[in-house]
Structure 1
């Protein structure tokens, strides 16, 4: 839970209206109890208004950069779903859920 908590703490800089972070590590090869390497992050923030998906992701990656494996951290994959409050309201009314995370280079246990 250390990595999970660190991500949530850093995301607070976006003043989110909603944050959900799901550890999906158990769905991937090499999993062991307590592993924190693959996450699905849903963030709803007014700070995303007027920004395209790439810019939203860049904001998030800047906040969690040191937690990523490329920087010596333990997060190998971070599926990001970043919405404005209006987009979130529309999504939850229409579909009720965020998209599933992408497969991880054929390493998923279900394969």
Structure 2
């Protein structure tokens, strides 16, 4: 599983200002930042991130995904609180 490929796939599908992807085996941790998440509940944000990954989830390349999705303002606050 190529992390750069996953980042590119997510960037191509979503209007992201920042994307971080970490992997441990077939388990991913994704932090995605986009203004397109404004006004969306957490579930909608996660669905938007899952959608472009569905083929890799279906074929077993990706087994589990932990997602944190923020607007830019939320991400700045998150970074301040978790320094």
By the TM > 0.5 criterion, same fold?
Answer: yes
4+ residue runs over 2 A deviation: none
Q: State how far apart, in whole Å, the 1-side matches of 2:55 and 2:10 are.
A: 13
Q: Which has the larger radius of gyration?
A: 1
Q: If the length of structure 2 is used for normalisation, what is the TM-score? A: 0.89
Say which structure is richer in strand: 2
Partner residue of 1:9?
A: 8
Structure 1: runs of 5 or more not aligned: 26-36, 97-111
Cα distance per residue 1:87-106 (max 9 Å; x no partner): 0011111223xxxxxxxxxx
State the number of aligned residues. 82
CA RMSD of aligned residues (A): 1.3
Cα distance per residue 1:49-82 (max 9 Å; x no partner): 10000000000111111010xx114100110010
Say which structure is richer in helix: 2
Q: RCO higher in 1 or 2 (8 Å CA, sep ≥ 6)?
A: 2
Structure 2: runs of 5 or more not aligned: none
